[in-house]
Amino acid sequence: MSQMARNASLSGFPELLPQERMIEQHVIDSLRKSFELHGFASIETRAVETVEQLLRKGEIDKEVYAVSRLQADEGAAEAALALHFDLTVPFSRYVVENAGYLAFPFRRYQIQKAWRGERPQEGRAREFTQADFDVVGDGVLPFRHDVEIVLLAVEALSALPIPEFRIRVNNRKLAEGFYRGLGLEDTPGVLRSIDKLEKIGPDAVARLLSEELGASEKQAQAALALAQISSADLDFVRQVRALCEQHGVQNDLLEEGLEELSSVLSAAMGRAPGTVLADLSIARGLDYYTGTVIETVLVGHEALGSICSGGRYDALARKGNRTFPGVGLSIGVSRLLARILSQQLATASRSVPTAVYIALTSDQDWAAAQDLAVTLRSRGIATEVAVAAEKFGKQIKFADRRGIPFVWFLNQEGGHEVKDIRSGEQVPADPESWLPPAEDLHVLVQPN
């Protein structure tokens, strides 16, 4: 039974059974391999930040977990601390504090826990793992990194045991330029309203634009019409130009955004046709995004929400007059894992790393069995040794129950035999040369 189907003793803080943890480790190892193949270096930031640092971007203070000692020193002034709710804000601090030690553009990935006091549901836990990858520049960061990040997302997600996915891309410059061309100057406010489109629908968004931002009905409908444009090829350019002509919109920022979004789509069409879509409804509510914005959904699992999101930020990190523009994405490892487990989208070949279980003929063989285990382990074969010379049938049953494929026997003459307990085949074996088949050497995680 999946962990997600069991009742957790503390809601929102999931724990995994060994076989489930194997799948999570496979996902993390696969992502790490993808990131490192592209030259991204791993970092880890502390779990706590000052409350001031955490809350300077966005508005999620109700979800932040504060951290304090049960018995603080009386009269001692201490900065208010909290657990980080994502990895982006800690990373921006990390870049500023370590700028003198980093080579720019700095390519980083980070796979860590985060904490957020949300109402627990599938895909949303209070303690969860994210995998972030970013490229950060010093002063400037060429746009080509935006394209690179999207292509890496395609590659990294394609290697995971998950269903088909769609990466939906927009550009804030395009949207903001269009809104300004319409006469809507509070572009962050318009974007925050458009970001709610899938949750509350177009009529409610139109009311928000009218009541909160003073948009006319014509302006509101034009903003909604832009958000309805979507295509898996460059046809979105034609649709945007037609809408601009209809409403008399001309704006240099819009033109810049159109060009950038076209570059992303062109590259993706060559590498992964149909996987990346231009979707002008994607807004990303946080104000620090300045260009490319991205959300990703699993086909057939859209209700799960975005599994990989982020974008371009030109001023998230600052140090005096120095700015560190960046572009990056965050993959929701725990969100993906929740769906993989609940829908049994993937299976681990066994629940333990062990490939060989050394049985004992007599208790006097235990020392020799330990020496044999050392030999096998030195050759990369995960091995366990029985602790007592019980009946062979009982020892084999123990190995079988844990999914261990091979049982090794030492005979009185010093010979060795190994038994594949699935087929029953038992053959002589040399500890210095025997290897299990490649598919049995390590735990395999495969999509169902």
134 annotated among ligand-binding-site residues: yes
Distances (CA, A) of 183 to 195, 215, 222, 285, 286: 19, 9, 11, 21, 22
289 annotated among ligand-binding-site residues: yes
109 annotated among ligand-binding-site residues: no
Report the pLDDT value the prediction gives residue 79, as an integer from 0 to 100.
79
- pLDDT of 407-418, one tens digit each? 999 987 778 999
- pLDDT of 339-375, one tens digit each? 999 999 999 999 999 999 999 999 999 999 999 999 9
Residue 311 scores a pLDDT above 50 = yes
Whole-number percent of the chain with pLDDT over 90: 76
Distances (CA, A) of 215 to 193, 194, 206, 228, 243: 12, 13, 9, 18, 18
> Cis (ω within 30 of 0) for the bond into 105?
yes
Distance from first CA to last CA of the chain, Å, rounded? 16
70-84, 99-113, 183-197 — which is least confidently predicted?
A: 70-84
pLDDT band at 231 (very low <50, low <70, confident <90, very high): very high
9-13, 44-48, 75-79, 255-259 — which is least confidently predicted?
A: 75-79
354 annotated among ligand-binding-site residues: no
Sign of the C-alpha dihedral computed for residues 260, 262, 263 and 267 taken in this order = positive
In 219-300, beta strands by DSSP E: 230-231, 276-279, 292-298
Percent helix / strand / coil, the chain, rounded to 5: 40, 20, 35
Q: What span, in angstroms and rounded, lies between the C-alpha atoms of 68 and 76?
A: 13
Among 236, 299, 310, 233, residue whose Cα is nearest residue 270: 233
* The token pair that represents 331 in the structure block: 């993959």
For 398-425, letters b (16+ CB in 10 Å) and e give bbeeebbbbbbbbeeeeebebbebeeee
400 annotated among ligand-binding-site residues: no
Among 356, 347, 346, 344, residue whose Cα is nearest residue 440: 356
Sign of the C-alpha dihedral computed for residues 11, 16, 343 and 115 taken in this order = positive
Residue 103's CB is within 10 A of a number of other CB atoms, namely 8
Report the pLDDT value the prediction gives residue 355, as an integer from 0 to 100.
98
Report the pLDDT value the prediction gives residue 59, as an integer from 0 to 100.
54
More confident residue, 11 or 106: 106
pLDDT band at 102 (very low <50, low <70, confident <90, very high): very high
What is the mean predicted confidence (pLDDT) over 68-72? 81
What does pLDDT average to over the chain? 92
Residue 5 scores a pLDDT above 50 = no
Report the pLDDT value the prediction gives residue 349, as an integer from 0 to 100.
92
pTM tops 0.85, yes or no? yes
Report the pLDDT value the prediction gives residue 4, as an integer from 0 to 100.
47
Distances (CA, A) of 127 to 86, 106, 123, 164, 305: 11, 28, 11, 26, 17
Report the pLDDT value the prediction gives residue 70, as an integer from 0 to 100.
84
Residue 448 scores a pLDDT above 50 = yes
Helix, strand or coil, per DSSP, at residue 250? coil
Question: Under a CB-based contact definition with an 8 Å cutoff, are residues 358 and 373 in contact?
Answer: yes
Report the pLDDT value the prediction gives residue 63, as an integer from 0 to 100.
86
SS (H, E, C) 144-205: HHHHHHHHHHHHHHHCCCCCCEEEEEEEHHHHHHHHHHHCCCCHHHHHHHHCCHHHHCHHHH
- pLDDT of 162-194, one tens digit each? 999 999 999 999 999 999 999 998 888 888 888
130 annotated among ligand-binding-site residues: yes
What is the mean predicted confidence (pLDDT) over 203-219? 89
Report the pLDDT value the prediction gives residue 57, as an integer from 0 to 100.
58
Note the helical H segments in 45-134: 51-54, 88-98
More confident residue, 318 or 240: 240
Structural domains of the chain in order of their starting residue, each with its CATH number: 3-43+87-348 (3.30.930.10), 356-447 (3.40.50.800)
Whole-number percent of the chain with pLDDT over 70: 96
- pLDDT of 277-303, one tens digit each? 999 999 886 678 899 999 999 999 999
Residue 212 scores a pLDDT above 90 = no
Q: What span, in angstroms and rounded, lies between the C-alpha atoms of 337 and 332?
A: 9
CB-based burial label for 396 (10 Å; 0-12, 13-18, 19+) = middle
Report the pLDDT value the prediction gives residue 7, as an integer from 0 to 100.
60
61 annotated among ligand-binding-site residues: no
What is the mean predicted confidence (pLDDT) over 242-250? 94
Question: Under a CB-based contact definition with an 8 Å cutoff, are residues 168 and 187 in contact?
Answer: no
